[in-house]
Structure 1
Amino acid sequence: MTNELFEFEILKASRTRLLQLIETVDNNILFKIPESFNNNIVWQIGHCITSQQRHMYMRSGLPMHISQDFMETFKIGTAPHTWKNTPDLDEIKHLLLYTVNQLSKDLASGIFVEYQPFSLPIGFSINDHIQALQAANFHEAEHSGIILTYLKLLRQ
């Protein structure tokens, strides 16, 4: 049996780390796209927030805690060259922890009842909100690795 609280704590730790990063790295670096890549650190972080919301809330038939515009800016297949407006860093900082704090309340209240299963491109299916939370943790770890690579390339 999966420990829901443990999975949640992993997500919270990941988000706290991303918030610390975004608050300490120069904005020019956050928005700069490394050579041979098509996204930047801001996109990576916004994409993590968006994916977690889509996979946990939208697939559960619940309203997401991000705007439609935010989702459209950071969903899979987007990139900074597709942005209509430059994302607001304060909004991203806010959503990093707000969405996690809201998730804590929502997990405790038991609102995740229904779920529309789907398959991930890496070859496995997500069948409920707990698996979506586990997948979010895996996904955010992948993107955190990409962010650290970007930082290494951009700080040279």
Structure 2
Amino acid sequence: MQDQAFIWNQYDLIRGMTVAMLASIDEETADIIPDNFNNNIRWNLGHILLCQDFLLFGPAGVQLPPAYGALFAPATKPANWQGDIPSLETLAAQLKEQPARIKEALQDRLNEPLPQPFQLGDKGTIYTYGEMLTFTLFHEGMHMGCISGLRKGITAGSK
């Protein structure tokens, strides 16, 4: 079997960057939605969490509060939120915990096929857990870019 430590190292690196960025954001800032944006920083963080669990383990394998689907799934937005919204402290703890849980479940399974191939529209197909894990890292990076844009929009709006 091929050494796959580099994948887990990249996972740790990317998640570490996400958690480090989160440390510089306060509760109020996390909820600001600048003009021309649909979501806020809190939504992006919850979306990263939810999508990684969902994409790797399917709907039955998500190990986050059930309300997260209504809060953070694709096509949701804070304007429609109801009920309890997780604090940044809660999201940070979950972002820190998630990698250990995923590593435990998939450490030696990255070459295994997914229960069903995952179609990315007309862009391609993901066949294995390893391919899906690396896709979720790309997805996390995209949302970190969104968070960076939100922060710039928030800063520009406060001038």
Shorter-chain TM band: 0.7 to 0.9
Q: Percent identity?
A: 23
Q: Which has the higher contact order (CA 8 A, sep 6+)?
A: 1
Deviation at 1:49, TM superposition (A): 0.9
User: Which residue pairs with 2:22 in the alignment?
Assistant: 22
User: Which residue pairs with 2:46 in the alignment?
Assistant: 46
Runs of 4+ more than 4 Å apart: 109-114
Tell me, in whole angstroms, the C-alpha distance in 2 between the residues paired with 1:2 and 1:71: 35
* Conserved? CA contact 2:106–2:129, under 8 Å: no
2 and 41 in structure 1: CA distance in 2 versus 1, 3 angstrom threshold = farther
Deviation at 1:37, TM superposition (A): 0.7
Residues 86-130 of structure 1: CA distance to partner in whole angstroms, max 9, x if unpaired? Answer: 332222111101111111111236496652222124711111211
User: Which residue pairs with 1:102 in the alignment?
Assistant: 101
Q: Which has the higher mean CA deviation after the structures are superposed, 84-93 or 95-104?
A: 84-93
User: Which residue pairs with 1:138 in the alignment?
Assistant: 138
Among candidates 66, 69, 77, match of residue 67 of structure 2 = 69
Deviation at 1:12, TM superposition (A): 2.1
Deviation at 1:11, TM superposition (A): 2.3
Task: Identify the structure with the greater strand proportion.
Answer: 2
Deviation at 1:4, TM superposition (A): 3.6
Deviation at 1:41, TM superposition (A): 0.7
Secondary structure at 2:123 match in 1: coil
Secondary structure at 1:68 match in 2: coil
Q: Tell me the C-alpha RMSD between the 2 structures.
A: 2.4
Q: Which has the higher mean CA deviation after the structures are superposed, 66-75 or 136-145?
A: 66-75
Tell me, in whole angstroms, the C-alpha distance in 2 between the residues paired with 1:138 and 1:76: 16
User: Normalising by structure 2, what TM-score?
Assistant: 0.84
Tell me, in whole angstroms, the C-alpha distance in 2 between the residues paired with 1:96 and 1:9: 16
* Number of equivalenced pairs: 154
- Give the partner amino acid of 2:90: E
User: Which residue pairs with 1:151 in the alignment?
Assistant: 151
User: Which residue pairs with 2:86 in the alignment?
Assistant: 87
User: Normalising by structure 1, what TM-score?
Assistant: 0.86
- Give the partner amino acid of 1:93: A
- Give the partner amino acid of 2:68: F
Q: Which has the higher mean CA deviation after the structures are superposed, 18-27 or 93-102?
A: 18-27
* Conserved? CA contact 1:115–1:129, under 8 Å: no
78 and 149 in structure 1: CA distance in 2 versus 1, 3 angstrom threshold = same
The gaps in structure 2 that reach 5 residues or longer are: none
The gaps in structure 1 that reach 5 residues or longer are: none
114 and 145 in structure 1: CA distance in 2 versus 1, 3 angstrom threshold = closer
Secondary structure at 1:134 match in 2: helix
